[in-house]
Structure 1
Amino acid sequence: MTTRAIILFCSVFFVILNLHQICAFQVPVKRLRSSELQKFRIPRAAKLRSYMNESVDPCFDFYEFACGNWPSLRPASEAIQSTSPMKDLEDAVNKDLQTMLEEVVNRNDGQVGRKVKDFYTSCMDSENASRTVKHAFMNFAKVNSGMPAIDARFDERSYNWLIQISNLRKNFGMDILIGLNIKPDMQNRQDSRIYISEPSTLIPKGICKEADFKNSRYEELQTEITDNMAYWFDMDKGDGSKFATDLLDFETTLCRGMSEEVGPDVFPNMTRMTLSEMNSKFPTIDFQYFVTTSLGQPIPQTVYWQHELYFIHLSKILRSTPKRMTANYIMYRALLAISFPEESDKDMRASLCVEKCMKHFSKVVGEMYNRKNFNTETVEDIEQMWSKLRESFKADINSQEWIEETTRRQAVYKIVGMQLRFANYMKDLLHNEYGSLKIDRVHFWENILSLLELDQKNEVKKLYNNGGSKAPVGKEVEAFNINVGYSPMQNIIRMPLGLLQDPIYHRTAPYSYKYGVLGFFIARELVHGFDEIGWNFDETTAMRLWWDMNSTLLYKERAACFREQYVAYAGEGSGLSPIELDDKIREIIADNGALNISFNAYLQWLQKTDEPHVLYDETLSEVDYTNTQLFFISFAQNFCTSTYSKEEPIGFFPWDVPNYLDKFQVNGLLWNMREFSREFNCQPGTEMNPGDKCIIY
């Protein structure tokens, strides 16, 4: 039988026979491809094959099978601490942005584009920044309530910590000791509301709360703070080290009153009340003064707040802590927000300056990147994939008998209402936002302060603006980003253009490749709409617990399986705090569901594709694997990693082996997937096909 006859035979029996068995071609298909296809597929096939270690049995260790040659071909080093496809993508996007920012201003950039390029120029002048940093930082500290560590004339009697943090929040948007955010109202998406919560910390929250002084992050921060004080103020190493120790001790004490929750998005634990009611509840903290001063206007409406125990603890700590210590901590955090590394290497500084531009001119840089990279055919291709992924998840939800019927029905409504959006920019709005901003090509530190002031003004506009209309609110993903984002309060998945390039996506790639890589990333955000955070919002994006009690309990039982699986694998090697472990399990559940959803979406696409020439293109030349096997190989290679270590691993424990935890990102998902075992003929009881499997979606 000829190859063409085989394909026609497959097409005729698509619906009758088992789809994945028929369409996973066992005979490599040879076909002359167009030049456009060849341009991507030949080098991609060569790379894919080169990273594989085909001497390893895929049923024993699929990560090693798919990525075994990566560390030797793409080794990490002291200069490059890690290598991975996502790191390659990040570097490629940053390089594109650097080139874009270094180009001569053109007509399409407009006045706002000129400002971001002028800021980039001022940032790249490392000599001028280093020469003026001490004067700039001394002056900033002086006009913002002072810093005893550098000012012998600091007046402790007149010092008031609340005045200091309120003015820093008002002028520069800095959240220190008290967290203040403006977000969509949980009960009314069309409105905005103030959220008061714990602030961020220098020390990662889990490490800080546990007071894990043996953690290497403490030593790193000690050095970092010491070096910063030397750079900013010429403080000698001994004084700088003592300053750092006192600062970290203060923050560790502060952390003891912090919650076990995962930051300000733990929606069910929020309380709503007026500022005067908060003052009555916490008489030692004048929240009405803090919020009114921070936002520059009276706030009559109620606010959301959480972390009551933290604010009780904060009051006690500040009463017992010398004012000099409090002032030093607050001012250090403020200076850190405007600081920039002392970096003279041109390439390294360029990378850091690009990051600053992305942070402070996010929409301007996004518009410039979008203008350069937007492609209608690519968007149409992604939207087609999105439709298949959504249909796949709907079918999956409807098949989950452990979820009560009423909850399943509401879940389907939410899936139907979920949208995938690309960034959209209107230059008139950008001009309104940045038109009054003063930026020049020389004064870097002044430029930073101007940008922080503008960021704060735009933050307040989310609550009100002078015309009384609301400014846009919600989580944004800019065109240059490389991570897909889901907003549970809007039920929107935001797709960045930065992700849509090799090695993650190419328009001419086989769909087995597209669904295995990009489809997985999109589906992961789909699943986040139905996890322990996402299920707090229903299909209308109103905040309510719409899962029934029985389904919720069964979900948590199934989630416990994933926790046991990961803990058994990682042992003591994970190094995660309880809070971080909760986050990790949530991501593992999303990853497992995403791979199932994306694979089934690919099968659905195959089922509706009856054109032989399209089916020919579902494999890669010189890669002797079926299309469905290519799906899993492509997925796995997205997580190939090499990490640098100064010391050779001891080897006493499994987690001492390089990339041991990285392997779980691949193998841990495939253990739970029967379709994978079927495609690679992994027999029950083999390493990659254990008897106990964890499944939610």
Structure 2
Amino acid sequence: MTETDTPKSARKPRWTPLEMGLFTVVSLFLIIIVILMVLFATQSNEICTTADCTHSASRLIQNMDASVDPCDNFYQYACGGWLKKNVIPETSSRYGVYDILNSNLEVILKGVLEKKVDKEAAAFTKAKTLYNSCINEKLIEQKGGRPLFDMLPDIFDWPIAVDNWETVYGKTWRLEDVLARLNWKYATDVLVSFIVDNDDRDSTSHIIYFDQQTTFGLWSKDHYTCKGRYAKACEVYEQFMFDLAKLIRTDRGLKFNEAEIKAEVKRVVDLEKDIINATDPPEFRRDPMFLYNRIELGTLNRIFSFEIDSQRFNWSYFTAKIMDNVNIKVPESEKIINYSPRYYGKLKNVLAKYTKRDLQNYVVWRFLMKMVRALSRAYRNTRNYFLQVQSGATSEDTVWRRCALLVNRNLDNAVGRLYVQEAFSDNSKQLMEELIKDIREVFISNLNDLSWMDEKTKKAAEEKARAIRQRIGYSEDIMNDEYLNNEYKDLNFSAEEYFKNILHSMEHWTKKDLQKLREKVNKNKWSIGAAVINAFYSANSNEIVFPAGILQPPFFSKGQPKSLNYGGIGMVIGHEIVHGFDDIGRSYDKDGKLKVWWTPGSTKKFLDLSRCIANQYSRFSWDLADGLHLNGDITLNENIADNGGIRLAYQAYKKFVKRNGEELPLPGIDLSHDQLFFLNFAQIWCESYRPEQAINSIEMDVHSPMLFRVLGSLQNFPEFAKAFNCKKSSNMVSDNVCRVW
């Protein structure tokens, strides 16, 4: 065989099997390295470009003010853009993200309530009938004050606005009769609050509560000093009552003596001032154990009775006048809860200074204050300037907005069904369940790290946390036409009788509450409708509720980054869970019963840590509110929930990242997802206040103003400073970090 006959393959050098194996391994290794390098290079440059991500980035950028140092004032950094571009509407005293969401919700409600359907459940027809009666301004104007005149004799009329009151009504007048009828028929509690609700010590049963008067014409005790910043409010309050009395007398064709009416108005305001000064301050009413005074009904007659013009007030008679309307007999031996023994003790001396005419003028006035808004414009105008001075708002809401809200309050399940069908995706439920599970588990795991709580209390706290029930979106019951029709079977509205519709609804729902006295508590029933932009914790039920209305951006969206979900609705979830363990919620056990389940040692340490938060927030002052300081005691439970909520949500998010990896960056915003978590948290609280409302919020609201909800929570959370590389000298870094949960 010659060389030229040798095959080409035989002329190649041969590799041994070992060499071939090494070559294969090295080749595969190099290929893998190249692939990983390509993937790394691709991922390092990749951003999230979904519609949800681009919308989220745009919103975050527009609302923030990047020129502000986040370590100096994170609220201004997060909300500066929002505050600059959003003007408070003339109809509002404050305006924030919640208000924008509510405004959008009202548009949806308007659409579903005005939509004509050939055939629909009776419940929806009733909701639309109530709405149509409310927006029928022409007919309301034609009726003027007549609907009010027709019903006033049912509650012994208003002495200021009727002649010969002493002759016509005086001899038959009895305070118990007036107060009872205002309660059961007109949903108005004056002097005495009478409520049937869950028994704090037995969450399966209902019981009668007697309490102090809780609402007044002016908004705080300080207003009734009528000095300084409150002088104008007192002046327009009296003018409101005077103008209404004048209008009623004029429309009734009665003569008008200005001096006499002004004198009677002054007596009414003096009486209300004495009543509010007899009430216990909010700080005194924060301990549910202290409030729970269980006694027999007959004991009220023996210890807390008082006289009006020699007529002795009989608590048993008063109770019977209310409960007879739902066919329930209440004996002298009935166990009741007296929430306000100190108030009732003082009321005796207060009322001794006034006549039955004074009392009648006052109790009917408290009813008229809220009812003028259901009358013609002339009647509403008597109230508008008063509201303007109180809140700073300069005009009424549009009619359709008022009417949509009215129907949602009165037929919340029917409206909730319409809202859910129009605007809510059930896909949200599963993701919410996962968020709640994550945040609940973080709370439970954190218990092990609490050095101030002993093991016995930790174990009970874990049992309570695991027992918290969750409600997401809406009750399945409202998707059933038969259920809705049955719920509203006793409600009947007329499209031509708006004022009467309101009265009818008041009576209906009050009676429904009273009828619960002999019934077991239905723990499966939702306590709130679906079309609500809010979230709730119920201590007596040990449950957290997230209506469909709040499950939307910026709080929540299935498509937006998880950092935003945890910083938004996640913080809200944590907030509501912590409410079960704040200075009020901690008094209730896993079954919602008022019970001592803490050891004395853990209680003392909890109170010491809570005092740190109360003192910290009390040091905040607000220029917009004339430099007033916050009341850290009144806002304590909400501040505890805010501080605990942000911590739980952030820790839960970090665990999510550990399980699933880092999220892709958002387009156009050079912030890490840790930073985006805090940014979205702050932006859900963006809000502007009028100066009048800024003062009111400090004096009355159990929540801190939005600015301080953000600053206080983040100053107490070192992970925030770490995320933004804040120096120890920064304003957002506290020298004395307060922490409970």
Counterpart of 1:52, as a letter, is: M
Is the Cα–Cα contact under 8 Å of residues 198 and 264 in structure 1 kept in the other structure? no
Q: 2:569 aligns with which of 508, 513, 518?
A: 518
Q: Does 1:621 align with 2:675?
A: no
- Return the offset for 1:542: 2.0
Q: Does 1:638 align with 2:684?
A: yes
Q: Does 1:248 align with 2:263?
A: no
- Return the offset for 1:490: 0.7
- 3-state DSSP class of the match of 1:582? coil
- 3-state DSSP class of the match of 2:204? strand
Q: Deviations over 1:206-243 (max 9, x none)?
A: 42697464454535534544454456555889577655
User: In the alignment, which residue of structure 1 is the partner of 2:7?
Assistant: none
Is the Cα–Cα contact under 8 Å of residues 83 and 687 in structure 2 kept in the other structure? yes
Q: Does 1:336 align with 2:369?
A: yes
Q: 1:641 to 1:277 in 2, by over 3 A?
A: closer
Is the Cα–Cα contact under 8 Å of residues 198 and 521 in structure 2 kept in the other structure? no
Counterpart of 1:642, as a letter, is: S
- 3-state DSSP class of the match of 2:145? helix
Counterpart of 1:505, as a letter, is: F
- Return the offset for 1:129: 1.7
Q: 1:306 to 1:411 in 2, by over 3 A?
A: same
Is the Cα–Cα contact under 8 Å of residues 53 and 64 in structure 1 kept in the other structure? yes
- The size of the alignment, in residue pairs, is 658
More off after superposition, 269-278 vs 442-451: 269-278
* 1:472-511 equivalences in 2 (<5 Å): 476-511=527-562
User: In the alignment, which residue of structure 2 is the partner of 1:138?
Assistant: 149
- 3-state DSSP class of the match of 1:438? coil
- Return the offset for 1:81: 4.6
Q: Deviations over 1:639-694 (max 9, x none)?
A: 222335699x9xxxxxxxxxx96432222221111111111111212221232211
Query: Please, what TM-score do these two structures have when normalized by structure 2?
Result: 0.82
Task: Give the alignment's Cα RMSD to 1 decimal.
Answer: 3.3
Q: 1:682 aligns with which of 723, 726, 737?
A: 726
- 3-state DSSP class of the match of 1:193? strand
Structure 1: tracts of 5 or more residues without a match: 11-26, 650-659
Q: 1:189 to 1:563 in 2, by over 3 A?
A: closer
Q: Does 1:55 align with 2:71?
A: no
Q: 1:334 to 1:626 in 2, by over 3 A?
A: same
* 1:312-323 equivalences in 2 (<5 Å): 312-323=345-356
- Return the offset for 1:571: 6.8
Give the Cα separation in 1 of the matches to 2:218 and 2:284: 12
* 1:286-301 equivalences in 2 (<5 Å): 286-296=314-324, 297-300=328-331, 301=334
- Percentage of identical aligned residues: 23
Give the Cα separation in 2 of the matches to 1:287 and 1:149: 27
Q: 1:394 aligns with which of 444, 453, 464?
A: 444
Give the Cα separation in 2 of the matches to 1:576 and 1:307: 33
Q: Which has the higher contact order (CA 8 A, sep 6+)?
A: 1
Counterpart of 2:406, as a letter, is: K
Give the Cα separation in 2 of the matches to 1:28 and 1:222: 68
- Return the offset for 1:541: 2.0
Give the Cα separation in 1 of the matches to 2:322 and 2:641: 38
Give the Cα separation in 2 of the matches to 1:578 and 1:255: 22
User: In the alignment, which residue of structure 2 is the partner of 1:19?
Assistant: none
User: In the alignment, which residue of structure 1 is the partner of 2:15?
Assistant: none
- 3-state DSSP class of the match of 2:362? helix
- 3-state DSSP class of the match of 1:494? strand
Give the Cα separation in 2 of the matches to 1:205 and 1:340: 18
Give the Cα separation in 2 of the matches to 1:526 and 1:196: 29
Q: Deviations over 1:288-316 (max 9, x none)?
A: 11111111131143111121121122233
- Return the offset for 1:338: 3.5
User: In the alignment, which residue of structure 1 is the partner of 2:736?
Assistant: 692
More off after superposition, 64-73 vs 387-396: 64-73
Is the Cα–Cα contact under 8 Å of residues 515 and 599 in structure 1 kept in the other structure? yes
Give the Cα separation in 2 of the matches to 1:579 and 1:159: 45
Q: 1:379 to 1:226 in 2, by over 3 A?
A: farther
- Return the offset for 1:334: 2.2
Q: Deviations over 1:41-62 (max 9, x none)?
A: 2132122112222122211221
Give the Cα separation in 2 of the matches to 1:170 and 1:457: 6
Q: Does 1:551 align with 2:602?
A: yes
User: In the alignment, which residue of structure 2 is the partner of 1:89?
Assistant: 101
Q: 1:640 to 1:547 in 2, by over 3 A?
A: same
Q: Deviations over 1:310-362 (max 9, x none)?
A: 11222333232021111011111223343325559996111111221122222
Give the Cα separation in 2 of the matches to 1:333 and 1:324: 14
- Return the offset for 1:114: 0.4
More off after superposition, 129-138 vs 627-636: 129-138
Query: Please, what TM-score do these two structures have when normalized by structure 1?
Result: 0.87
User: In the alignment, which residue of structure 2 is the partner of 1:13?
Assistant: none
User: In the alignment, which residue of structure 2 is the partner of 1:273?
Assistant: 295
Structure 2: tracts of 5 or more residues without a match: 1-31, 307-312, 381-394, 696-703
Is the Cα–Cα contact under 8 Å of residues 105 and 113 in structure 1 kept in the other structure? no
Counterpart of 1:634, as a letter, is: N
Q: 1:385 aligns with which of 431, 435, 448?
A: 435
Counterpart of 1:250, as a letter, is: L
- Return the offset for 1:469: 6.8
Q: 1:266 to 1:368 in 2, by over 3 A?
A: farther
More off after superposition, 292-301 vs 208-217: 208-217
Q: 1:380 to 1:141 in 2, by over 3 A?
A: same
Q: 2:82 aligns with which of 58, 64, 70?
A: 70
Give the Cα separation in 1 of the matches to 2:630 and 2:732: 29
More off after superposition, 215-224 vs 536-545: 215-224
- Return the offset for 1:63: 1.5
Is the Cα–Cα contact under 8 Å of residues 65 and 80 in structure 2 kept in the other structure? yes
Give the Cα separation in 2 of the matches to 1:181 and 1:470: 15
Q: Does 1:110 align with 2:129?
A: no
Q: Does 1:260 align with 2:281?
A: yes
Is the Cα–Cα contact under 8 Å of residues 176 and 318 in structure 2 kept in the other structure? yes
Q: Deviations over 1:468-502 (max 9, x none)?
A: 77667988221011110100011000111111122
Give 1 or 2 for the bigger CA radius of gyration.
Answer: 2
Give the Cα separation in 1 of the matches to 2:228 and 2:257: 22
Counterpart of 1:280, as a letter, is: R
Counterpart of 2:550, as a letter, is: L
Is the Cα–Cα contact under 8 Å of residues 165 and 175 in structure 1 kept in the other structure? yes
